Structure 1
Amino acid sequence: MQTILTDFYILQSYEQTENGGFVANISLNKDHDIFKGHFPGNPVTPGVCMMQIVKELSEEFTGLKLFLKSASNVKFMAIINPFETPDLKLQLDITQTENEVKVKNITSFGETIALKMSVNYQKLTI
């Protein structure tokens, strides 16, 4: 899997759901340089990094190269501290049309929902 978030997270496991979506379990790298600046002494996973993880996992599971076209209903509902809650579960409900991939995501740790969003990606031809 190609990633721009080098060593930021590890895909521990995933499974395909009955509706064609995926559930992925990842672990954040608490020692990544991003957390040294965001924020020193109080590390918080940047929302843009969470959005990038969803894109990268969507590319992995569809086998497609994707470009973010739009995002809606993006709700950051809990702080993700990589020292306290490094293990995350991402539910990705993926639907495809001829030119687009639509993903509804819920990211959680334990019983806490940290992120909900709907995104539309354009399929790229390489």
Structure 2
Amino acid sequence: MWFLHLNLEKPAPDEIRAGVVVNGDSPWFDGHFPDSPILPGIAQLKMVADVVGQAQKKALWINRLHRVKFRRIVKPGELLEIHVMGTGNQYSFRITHNAEDVCSGMMSLDDKQQ
């Protein structure tokens, strides 16, 4: 796994929470940017899909995104909190760092790669 889970919990049937950290040696930081590495937005979205997949114990792929907002740069080693709500294949999500919004939106996930 390219990020480290600190916790993964399902407080309710339609809710998933996870604390994660992406180490500076992750390939996502290569080239984004050598003197000031940041986690690309697509990596943040993939992290949400991976957390949902791990909670459901199956591989999931992003099928559709809606109303995605990136609000803050993510640096290597920062503790991120992922909060996901939804059932079936429709999810709303929010990533925060120190209670500050990093990314939020809605996504559809599928167990078949498109």
| TM-score normalised by L of structure 2 | 0.88
Counterparts of 1:18-97 in structure 2, within 5 Å, are 18=12, 20-83=14-77, 86-96=78-88
Identity of aligned residues (%): 19
Q: How far 1:19 sits from its partner (Å)? A: 5.1
Structure 2 Cα separation of the partners of residues 119 and 21 of structure 1: 14
User: Which has more radius of gyration?
Assistant: 1
| TM-score normalised by L of structure 1 | 0.80
Q: Gaps spanning 5+ residues in structure 1: where? A: 1-5
Match of 1:118?
Answer: 106
CA-atom RMSD, angstroms?
Answer: 1.8
Counterparts of 1:102-117 in structure 2, within 5 Å, are 102-117=90-105
